[in-house]
Chain A
């Protein structure tokens, strides 16, 4: 099922998309809204692996559901392979884009055998003979490294890694062009995680898939992604090729995030996290730059002016300091101190 993809073809185009959720009224009776995704624009190239990282509540899973078409946006629009998903029926959508979720314990129906779980998407299409379905299931199980005999088993009889392979097989059985993986290895042990990551990378290459890979684990994302988006409180605050993002991060939040990764190196101690006490709250997004209350590099202007996307080459960053030519403005002493501090935070 090799796909012809032009090098710059756009697989997914997200334009100014917002998704909010209504919350229960507060004690004082005010209606409250949670802004999960707040005016996000994003282009995913055909055949690339786009990693999306961020902490809980940053909107990365909501963005995944919007892209999958399982959740409609409040504003903006999303084109997948040039189609507005809302104009497609569920069957057509399923042939185009498929999800793989975090927890293979809850995403597989425990009452069905593996082969029925993997066959369901084919059966739901309603246009394939039973025998052809059986063959397709056997083929895809083999592709994800499972024996056909596993098809007779129930999810409860499988290990976590095998279950995640089943979930991947189910996602691939319709030969979609795009797969959205939301924390696909987070529930797995590290030795099994490596197996599943290798499998996803291999399938992506062999099938020419466009892969969106969402994770809180920066090491995992760096391993698999060619470009990485960093989300904070519903916005993409930095987006760059993986090498650039991990070697020369430009947003202060990305730097803090990278500095907080505990690599297995003895004697290095625990990094100081310069984030202050505040906790990001998507139902109460700060004015100005949404990161400024926690930002170690914030200047006064950050509390009033909302930064816009600044693009340098293919490195996008949304930060006033980056707009102002990053940390070179020596006239601003606070900016200067902050630059020094963030330098310490990212020291290897």
Chain B
């Protein structure tokens, strides 16, 4: 089956910084592909590059970026605008960045539908009401007349999800949509997204720094570091058999309640994320990696740990799997 999103060799550079360095990923219908990494790894830039929303000082290139088989990389802005909000929708960490404080929820939700679908006001209101109900907002009629500031953070996030779904998109890009929320609300929002996906076959590209979320919602995982995908595979493989020293290190340093060892320091990854300037060569992680050797200064091969599970490191699978970072 043709993937909903198929990205090959995407590169994004800002003046003096290579933010995304040749990443490829696919999202299948009805699946969630999580891109996970720490701040500055290029995960948000990746999502903005796919949406065609990069700032003007960025340069973007790729072999292709296909949405439902159609290359959208070279579409003129006018046609991209028609895609965004209809076939391609995005939600962000802070709902207030996508909700206009000066307009009611109802007018913002219906505008999307009327503009893209040419629907009547009445049909748009009907759809908005139904969707708000679907995302668990009670008293939807009343909410439509409210302004964003009148809603709690969890409600705003639900409204933003409903708004993103107004035109039945094929792909939803979610960039840290629950990071600003309390843990109980986060679980509710994630479970909502999963059930909406089950109903509609929506493909989700989910960007996050939180491996706990990834473990619970991802079908596929891509771990990003310094602008590259350093490991990718099915979620079960990434969590049970992580290969890349960065993935292994990241998993080790998460404190899990009820599993602490008293007085023992948490494993951590020394150092900081490097700034990747043009001409950078070798492994981006080598300065922080306990297993680095001279070989890490050269081009790094992509190796297969198993079918469909790849990592970018010079360690052969047996050594990578044995390493304790």
Residues of A near any B CB (own CB < 8 A): 55-56, 159-162, 189-195, 197-198, 201-202, 216-223, 246-247, 256-258, 260-273, 275, 277, 279
CB of B57 closer than 8 Å to a CB of A: no
Q: A191-B269, A263-B257, A266-B218 are in contact. List 8 more A-B contacts (CB 8 A).
A: A189-B273, A191-B38, A217-B255, A261-B256, A263-B212, A263-B215, A270-B217, A275-B188
User: Bound complex: CA of A213 vs CA of B72, how far in Å?
Assistant: 49
B188 contacts which of A198, A262, A273 (Cβ < 8 Å)?
A: A273
A264 contacts which of B239, B268, B273 (Cβ < 8 Å)?
A: B239
Comparing B2-10, B76-84, B178-186, the segment that makes contact with chain A is: B178-186
User: Bound complex: CA of A183 vs CA of B188, how far in Å?
Assistant: 23
Do the beta carbons of A262 and B138 come within 8 Å of each other?
no
**7 shortest interchain CB distances as A-B pairs:** A262-B212, A194-B268, A191-B269, A219-B255, A266-B239, A194-B253, A55-B182
Residues of B near any A CB (own CB < 8 A): 38-39, 136, 138, 152-155, 182-188, 190-191, 194, 209-218, 235-236, 238-240, 249-251, 253-258, 260, 265-270, 272-273
User: Bound complex: CA of A269 vs CA of B256, how far in Å?
Assistant: 16
Do the beta carbons of A264 and B251 come within 8 Å of each other?
yes
Residue of B nearest to A58 (CB): B182
Do the beta carbons of A56 and B253 come within 8 Å of each other?
no
Residue of A nearest to B138 (CB): A277
The residues of B that contact A265 with a CB separation of less than 8 Å are 215-216, 239
The residues of B that contact A219 with a CB separation of less than 8 Å are 254-257
User: Bound complex: CA of A260 vs CA of B191, how far in Å?
Assistant: 11
Do the beta carbons of A261 and B266 come within 8 Å of each other?
no
Most buried by B among A55, A191, A218, A271: A191
Shortest distance from the beta carbon of A193 to any chain B beta carbon, whole Å = 7
Residue of A nearest to B184 (CB): A260
The residues of B that contact A190 with a CB separation of less than 8 Å are 38, 209, 211, 250, 253-254
Shortest distance from the beta carbon of A275 to any chain B beta carbon, whole Å = 6
Do the beta carbons of A247 and B258 come within 8 Å of each other?
yes
A55 contacts which of B183, B194, B215, B253 (Cβ < 8 Å)?
A: B183
A223 contacts which of B39, B260, B269, B272 (Cβ < 8 Å)?
A: B260
23 A-B contacts (beta carbon < 8 Å): A55-B184, A161-B272, A189-B39, A189-B209, A191-B249, A191-B250, A191-B268, A194-B253, A198-B268, A219-B256, A223-B266, A247-B258, A260-B184, A260-B186, A261-B183, A261-B212, A262-B215, A262-B216, A263-B257, A266-B236, A267-B235, A267-B236, A279-B152
The residues of A that contact B217 with a CB separation of less than 8 Å are 270
User: Bound complex: CA of A160 vs CA of B40, how far in Å?
Assistant: 12
Do the beta carbons of A201 and B260 come within 8 Å of each other?
no
Do the beta carbons of A257 and B239 come within 8 Å of each other?
no
The residues of A that contact B218 with a CB separation of less than 8 Å are 266
Most buried by B among A220, A247, A273: A273
The residues of A that contact B185 with a CB separation of less than 8 Å are 55
User: Bound complex: CA of A212 vs CA of B211, how far in Å?
Assistant: 27
The residues of B that contact A217 with a CB separation of less than 8 Å are 255
